[in-house]
Amino acid sequence: MSRTRLAGACMKKKTTSAILGSVIDMIMASAKDSHPNEFACSLRAEDGIITEVILVPGTISGNTSAILRLYMLPIDFSIVGTAHSHPSPNGNPSPADLGLFSRYGNVHLIAHYPYTRSSWKAYDRQGQFVELTVL
């Protein structure tokens, strides 16, 4: 089993219910700095709370996609999903997003333009909207 599939299989059991406001702020600032290209990262959680942004070495950002080199991540079962930006006001997942969601992690954030504290959405592995409490 590949490292990505192994990590994805182990993450299925974790429940994530909240995110620190400082993590949202970091994602929004990074998305704004990357605009008009997409920004992408992984997310680490402790006790069901997303506490940290993990920058993935070798990530490629463009104006229509960002490619995460997930094989560059250490095997770390506290990594629960991903975050990336959409340079448009559309925060809905694309077919490519849904493919990533189904393979890796249990929570995925999409930050969208204008990159304010309220311009993001969270989704589960199936691409269904999930509500996260901001702490």
Is the predicted pLDDT of residue 7 greater than 60, yes or no?
no
List of residues 6+ apart from 127 with CB closer than 8 A: 93, 97, 98, 101, 102
Task: Report pLDDT for 50.
Answer: 98
Specify whether the CB–CB gap between 50 and 16 falls below 8 A.
Answer: yes
Is the predicted pLDDT of residue 6 greater than 90, yes or no?
no
Structural domain harbouring 47:
3-134
Task: Report pLDDT for 134.
Answer: 97
Start-to-end CA distance of the chain, whole Å, equals 36
Please report which residue ranges of the chain form alpha helices under DSSP H.
3-11, 21-34, 95-103
Task: Report pLDDT for 13.
Answer: 54
Angstrom distances, CA of residue 26 to CA of 11, 84, 102, 131: 23, 12, 25, 19
How many domains does one find in the chain? Answer: 1
pLDDT in tens, 64-114: 778 777 787 778 889 999 999 999 999 999 999 999 899 889 999 999 999
Average pLDDT, the chain: 88
Specify whether the CB–CB gap between 106 and 128 falls below 8 A.
Answer: no
* CATH number, domain with residue 37: 3.40.140.10
